[in-house]
Amino acid sequence: MSKQVILYFSNTGHTKAVAEKIAAVTGAQLVPIQAEQPYTAADLDYNNPTSRTSLETHDDTSRPGIVAPDKRLIAQADTVYLGSPIWWGQVPHVINTLLETGYFRCKDVRQFCTSGETPIDKSTAKLTTDYPAINWGPSHRFTSAITGQEVEAWLKQGNQ
């Protein structure tokens, strides 16, 4: 049986809820991605140009520390579902830190996100350009109205 894992980064619970729904449909194991230094409400304030997320996100070289994920878990997985919020149109740099561990080379990775309104496309385009050694499947933005049928339709896209 194929092994699947869902790695997700979530601070206010939206991406976590979506990840749980994907797990319910796929049976994949859920693994939260944790920042070494958790993000506080003040850190997440996008109206403050000097908040942590404002400074990090606008510095393309920023790579916030993360709690190292289980390398074996990722090595054994045939498919990795990778979820995050969208911050200023892109994935948070925590995701870059994760991808630059090198654990994902030649893996099949399916990106998903939540956001206020921004579509996923630009973040997918940047990830596929920045990490060409990863086999990126179709990505998808989910809302809190996520249904099992929506997840199944997304999974089928990868089998075409």
Minimum distance of ligand FMN from residue 56's CB (angstroms) = 9
User: CA–CA distance from 138 to each of 61, 67, 90, 151 (Å)?
Assistant: 26, 27, 16, 12
Instruction: Restricting to residues 10-69, name those near ligand FMN by CB under 6 A.
Output: 10-16, 44, 46, 53
Does 158 participate in binding ligand FMN (rule CB under 6 A)? Answer: no
* CB 105 to ligand FMN: min, Å: 26
- Minimum CB distance to ligand FMN smaller for 4 or for 11: 11
- Roughly what angle, to the nearest 10 degrees, separates helices 148-157 and 14-26? 70
Provide CB contacts within 8 A for 12, sequence distance 6+. Answer: 44, 85
- Partners of residue 87 on adjacent β-strands: 90
Of 4, 28, 74, 85, which lies in the binding site for ligand FMN, with binding defined by CB under 6 A? Answer: 85
Nearest residue (CB) to ligand FMN, 49 versus 132: 49
H helix or E strand, kind and range, residue 114: strand 108-114
Residues contributing to the site for ligand FMN (CB under 6 A)? 10-16, 44, 46, 53, 85-89, 114-118
